[in-house]
Chain A
Amino acid sequence: MVGFITDIENMDGIAYYARPDLTLGAGFGTAISTQGGPKVQEALKKFGSANVTDVVATSGENLKARYILHAVGPRFQEEDSEEKLRKTMLNALRKAEEYKLRRIAFPAMGAGFYGIPLEVCARVTMGAVREFLEKAAELEEVVFCLRDSRELNVFQEHLQKMRG
């Protein structure tokens, strides 16, 4: 779907592509800190920092979603970006299972500002979801909440390929 991730209804959790220092920062971070309230950042402070591929969960506080999965993915063409992205996705999905979330939403993880090419993002993240959902006990639905038709087209093309 095309939309704004903190505005979608009926999600148990949403993913945020976090920085290793777990500071919310700009972009979707602005939306989380303004709509979720200062307690989200406070909760993150307890974790200190995190390594690439780590995922930490906090309450969504005033957000529509109950939980936020802060997933620290690879950034700016760092080494082994693809493999790290796959691990980050799988860790986020595992975290969702651990918290017994049934419906969760992801943005185009790492695409855009952090420079993961859209094609790689779609292939790796959707691949990880398919791999995970086959054995998931709690997770029922994974939504990709994208920002525009450019992102949507690439994800849809890849979905077709996966189906075909």
Chain B
Amino acid sequence: MAQNARSRKADKVVERMGRKLTRQMVGSLVGCVHCGMCTDSCHYVLANPDDPTYAPAHKADQIRKIFKRNFDWTGRIFPWWVHAEDIRTDADLEKLKDIVFGKCTNCRRCSLNCPMGVDFATLNRMARGALVSVGIMPEGVAIVSKDQWEVGNQMGVLPQDYLETLEWLSDELENEFKDPAARIPIDKMDAEIVYAINPREVKYDPRTISDAARIFYIAGENWTMPSEGWDMTNFGLFSGDDELGAAVAQRVYDRVIKLRGKKLVLSECGHGYRSTRCEGPNWSGKAVPFVIESSVLTMLRYIKEGWIRVDKTKNKEVVTFHDSCNNARSCGFYEEPRELLNLLVPDFREMYPNCAENFCCTGGGGAMSMSEYTPQRLKSAKIKADQLTATEAKTVVTSCHNCVDGLSDVIRHYKLGMKVTQLVNLAANAMMIPEKVVVPVEVPIPAVALPLAGFKILVVDDEPDILTFLAAVLEDQGATVIQAVDGEQALALTVREKPDLVTLDLSMPGRNGGYVFEEIRNNPEITSTRVCIITGKPELRRLIYERPVAPPEGYLDKPVNEDTLLTSVRMILELKHPHGNA
């Protein structure tokens, strides 16, 4: 009877839940005694103390009751007795979606604090996967999943763009060290290390790639980056789609095998580390015939074994360290990053609680891609903001790209005025360059050699301070800069001046940046103008990428620092075919 009353989607969800139940999950489904000990471990609860629907046990009950109604004999016979309840309509599925995607970041802090061993995060992931299999998911999850399935990475970086970015970074490196060997080797056979990264690095933060390349170069490592299977992140972990998890992990493994690499080194990314090193072999059902390690361990080894030397006084700021949930809680990886950090900075202050007990950056579990839940996510970040503030540090270091975005958002929202950085940046900065490596001596650069000479750039922002900052930095590098304070003016100037690049703020009064961007793309005269979005609201990223026009060439988060701005602007301008438009 119950079967017949269900919608097709609800039927398929229940069917999949049944297929995915493991013994461990059954333990979590039946093991809860509702003691409430996990309640205060959840950051959502701490921010919403009067709302019981955020309690981990309550959220778990929403999955538990479906299990009881369909798979547990007591629930089938006496549903009223054991609170069993079926899921019947598409509206029920939508409600479940808002719980499993919108009220939990799968951070596993409650799992760690349950005396009965209930692992709610695993149940939550299973429920997410069941919903995704019938197409019920936040729009952002759909976009990222489709990009990873089809393009091969979470951010839809096209093969040509990836290779051209590496090529450009190689040119920079060669120039810096005046050594033709100082390049990023691509698809080199039999390398000791195959280095896989997070696509965020190509799209928003190429400096992390060049910092890693600097370290490999100075260490004299025999390394390479793969041309395919280079995305070590895996949205399957977040969306609960084990098939995606398996496909993505297998692509990375296949490439290392093809290149006969000895070791796969993963750049700093918590969920990438967990997916590729820990879960991937299970999802793909295949043993991995090579070693997989985090770049944190690689850097630590280089320093301890003397491959590179570092001077920690070069990193002057007081720093604290944020643990990625996937690294620390799910993989027990928290001692090594601290050991490395202590070699790289003179003043490191712990936040409390820390290590496996640390709180989520609140951008975990794919939350950064789900803009519809942004207000509740940022509200739940109060505890993270308090933790950060209490350290009195000016910089927070983390070993995860996802946490960089999550923390940056928290810092902006709570106006904490802190910087976020990663261990690779600190290591590259502290690294001493041996004398045999020739580096350019700092000499005054003649005006003609300024890197942005000859480029016309239109900067658009409604905040005068930001306009002045952007213009000053770009003009110092030789660019001709024009300024616009609103959308109207921006469009008129783009048509009239035909700039090589427009840096565009998204939230402006009147015609906002999204509108301006779409107008630029839809006007054949200026459609191929390169655009770099600069915004303090990362959730707006989604709106831009969802527009039915070619995406922007670059994207930067506010506050923008000078180095990142220049690296991104130069990369956009100097790449031959930015996103295929030129």
Q: Which residues of A contact B (CB under 8 A)?
A: 4, 7, 23-31, 33-35, 37-38, 41-42, 62, 75-79, 107, 112-113, 115, 147-150
B493 within 8 A of A: no
Are A25 and B135 closer than 8 Å at their CB atoms?
A: no
Are A34 and B158 closer than 8 Å at their CB atoms?
A: yes
- Give the interface centre of A29, A113, A149 by most chain B CB atoms within 10 Å: A113
Residues on A with beta carbons closer than 8 Å to the beta carbon of B581 = 34, 37
Q: Do A77 and B134 form a contact, CB below 8 Å, given A25-B143, A33-B548?
A: yes
Q: Do A77 and B159 form a contact, CB below 8 Å, given A27-B150, A34-B581?
A: no
B91 within 8 A of A: no
B247 within 8 A of A: yes
Contact with A along B541-572 (1 / 0, CB 8 A): 00001101111000000000000000000000
Are B135 and A26 closer than 8 Å at their CB atoms?
A: no
A28 to B521, CA, bound (A): 19
B251 within 8 A of A: yes
Contact with A along B135-172 (1 / 0, CB 8 A): 10000001111110111100010111000000000000
A62 to B254, CA, bound (A): 32
A103 to B159, CA, bound (A): 23
B250 within 8 A of A: yes
B512 within 8 A of A: no
Nearest opposing residue in chain A for B134, CB measure: A76
Are A38 and B579 closer than 8 Å at their CB atoms?
A: no
Nearest opposing residue in chain B for A23, CB measure: B548
B133 within 8 A of A: yes
Residues on B with beta carbons closer than 8 Å to the beta carbon of A41 = 548-549
Residues on A with beta carbons closer than 8 Å to the beta carbon of B550 = 33-34, 37-38
Residues on A with beta carbons closer than 8 Å to the beta carbon of B159 = 4, 7
Are A113 and B145 closer than 8 Å at their CB atoms?
A: yes
From the candidates A31, A76, A148, name the one contacting B151 in the complex (CB within 8 A). Answer: A31
From the candidates B149, B250, B251, B579, name the one contacting A113 in the complex (CB within 8 A). Answer: B149
The 6 A-B pairs of least Cβ separation, nearest first, read: A27-B150, A76-B135, A112-B149, A27-B146, A35-B580, A30-B156
Taking A26-B156, A37-B527 as known contacts, 11 extra A-B pairs with beta carbons closer than 8 A to each other, sorted by chain A number, are A23-B548, A26-B146, A27-B149, A27-B156, A30-B147, A37-B550, A38-B549, A62-B580, A75-B135, A107-B150, A149-B254
Residues on A with beta carbons closer than 8 Å to the beta carbon of B222 = none
Are A34 and B579 closer than 8 Å at their CB atoms?
A: yes
B522 within 8 A of A: yes
A118 to B158, CA, bound (A): 24
A144 to B159, CA, bound (A): 19
Are A26 and B254 closer than 8 Å at their CB atoms?
A: no
From the candidates B133, B142, B247, B549, name the one contacting A33 in the complex (CB within 8 A). Answer: B549
Residues on B with beta carbons closer than 8 Å to the beta carbon of A25 = 143, 146, 546
Nearest opposing residue in chain A for B250, CB measure: A150
Q: Which residues of B contact A (CB under 8 A)?
A: 8-9, 12, 133-135, 142-147, 149-152, 156, 158-160, 229, 243-244, 246-247, 250-251, 254, 521-522, 527, 545-546, 548-551, 579-581
Nearest opposing residue in chain A for B229, CB measure: A148
12 contacts between A and B (CB under 8 A): A4-B159, A27-B147, A27-B151, A29-B146, A34-B158, A34-B550, A78-B8, A107-B150, A112-B247, A113-B142, A115-B243, A147-B149
A3 to B251, CA, bound (A): 13
Tell me, rounded to whole Å, the shortest Cβ–Cβ distance linking A156 to chain B. 15
Residues on B with beta carbons closer than 8 Å to the beta carbon of A78 = 8
Residues on B with beta carbons closer than 8 Å to the beta carbon of A33 = 548-551
Residues on B with beta carbons closer than 8 Å to the beta carbon of A149 = 250, 254
Tell me, rounded to whole Å, the shortest Cβ–Cβ distance linking A137 to chain B. 32
Residues on B with beta carbons closer than 8 Å to the beta carbon of A42 = 522
Are A148 and B156 closer than 8 Å at their CB atoms?
A: no
Residues on A with beta carbons closer than 8 Å to the beta carbon of B247 = 112, 148, 150
A29 to B549, CA, bound (A): 10
A78 to B580, CA, bound (A): 35
Residues on B with beta carbons closer than 8 Å to the beta carbon of A77 = 8-9, 12, 133-134
- Give the interface centre of B150, B250, B549 by most chain A CB atoms within 10 Å: B150
Residues on A with beta carbons closer than 8 Å to the beta carbon of B147 = 26-27, 30
Tell me, rounded to whole Å, the shortest Cβ–Cβ distance linking B353 to chain A. 38
Nearest opposing residue in chain A for B248, CB measure: A148
A42 to B527, CA, bound (A): 13
- Give the interface centre of A7, A28, A29, A77 by most chain B CB atoms within 10 Å: A77
Nearest opposing residue in chain A for B523, CB measure: A38
Are A28 and B580 closer than 8 Å at their CB atoms?
A: no
Nearest opposing residue in chain B for A76, CB measure: B135
Are A30 and B548 closer than 8 Å at their CB atoms?
A: no
Are A79 and B8 closer than 8 Å at their CB atoms?
A: yes
A153 to B40, CA, bound (A): 49
A147 to B251, CA, bound (A): 9
Nearest opposing residue in chain A for B522, CB measure: A38
From the candidates B142, B250, B251, name the one contacting A26 in the complex (CB within 8 A). Answer: B142
A4 to B229, CA, bound (A): 13
Are B521 and A38 closer than 8 Å at their CB atoms?
A: yes
Tell me, rounded to whole Å, the shortest Cβ–Cβ distance linking A155 to chain B. 14
A77 to B254, CA, bound (A): 29
Tell me, rounded to whole Å, the shortest Cβ–Cβ distance linking A79 to chain B. 6
Residues on B with beta carbons closer than 8 Å to the beta carbon of A76 = 9, 133-135
Nearest opposing residue in chain B for A39, CB measure: B524
- Give the interface centre of B8, B143, B146, B549 by most chain A CB atoms within 10 Å: B146
A4 to B147, CA, bound (A): 13
- Give the interface centre of A26, A30, A149 by most chain B CB atoms within 10 Å: A26
